[in-house]
Amino acid sequence: MHHHNHYYGQTHILARHCGLDDEFPPRLRGYLQHGWNVGCGWNPVHEFFDGAWRYVWSDAPRRRGHSLGRRNYHVIGAPWLYLMDLEPELGAVPEEKREGTLWFLFHGWEGGKIQGDHARLIDEIRETEPGPVTFSLYYTEYDRPEVRGFYERAGFEVISFGRRGWNYEGTDRRFLYKQLAAFRRHKRVAANRLSTAVFYGIAAGCEPAVYGDPMVMEGENPLFGGVARVARLWPEMHGKNIDLATARDIADQELGRAWLASPAELRMLFDWNERD
């Protein structure tokens, strides 16, 4: 099993859905998509073991993978949707009590830092958002005082949901639980790039927005086509006031709502059934 499968506690969520141990989930014999992806489900240089299954959220990565000659796909829906079904009340407040914007900065990773005009982005957020702003930083930016300080000095509440983990260590398996609770008390979700968090927020009932300096990341692989390709393929998902019905339809497609599987189906696909 590849250690990426444990990112954000996603395998743990699927194990819980299947009625299995979600603290120490069983081995997943294949590769699990761990974030919204505009390619075949993984980064362009990801290595795969021959014959391994590729479990993706929606049919689009499967189709793109097939166009590249890749096979062994199963479409299962995003673990996020399973979590929402498992935790229907987590963080929920009456609709009229939801307020403010949960704002996500495009983030780097262990191998690449982001660069951009944080001051200008803050000005645009202040001009745009009608209520209080909670600013979410990925741990790679939260741990950089020179980045976190911009948003703290702006008066935003700055938070981080934890670490995704690496090589099975440091995984915050409550990462997505905390994120879900936060979404359900906010009215809007916004980001400077169309991203996983935007789709999660829409699924959790938030009004979406995508605007501001998209920033750049050191070593960003151009094979996906970059910001320009995403804007070209999903123009409806960019702007400060996005049509909510359209956004929900697209989020359902990208998160694979139509492909959600029963516990029995997933146990079969993952080879998680007990043997005599």
Query: Is the confidence at residue 176, as pLDDT, over 90?
Result: yes
pLDDT bucket at 92, cuts 50 / 70 / 90: very high
Average pLDDT for the chain: 92
Average pLDDT rounded to a whole number, residues 194-206: 97
User: What are the tokens at 182?
Assistant: 């936060």
* Averaged pLDDT for residues 228-232: 92
Model-level pTM?
0.94
Distance CA 194, CA 212 (A): 11
Mean pLDDT of 254-263: 98
Does residue 108 have a pLDDT over 80?
no
Q: Is the predicted pLDDT of residue 111 greater than 60, yes or no?
A: no
CATH number of the structural domain 95-253 = 3.40.50
pLDDT score of 170 more than 90? no
**Mean pLDDT across the stretch 127-156?**
94
Neighbours of 45 (CB within 10 A): 7
Cβ neighbour number for residue 255 with a 10 Å cutoff:
24
Q: Using an 8 Å Cβ cutoff, are 61 and 37 in contact?
A: yes
Confidence of residue 2 (pLDDT cuts 50, 70, 90): confident
* Across 42-57, average pLDDT: 81
Widest CA span in the chain: 63
Which of 236, 267, 231 is CA-nearest to residue 251? 236
Q: How far is CA 25 from CA 1, 118, 200, 221, 263, in A?
A: 11, 40, 23, 32, 14
Domain(s) labelled CATH 3.40.50 in the chain stretch across 95-253
pLDDT of residue 9: 95
Residue 110: predicted pLDDT: 59
- Our CA dihedral for 104, 106, 108, 114, rounded to 10 degrees, sits at -120
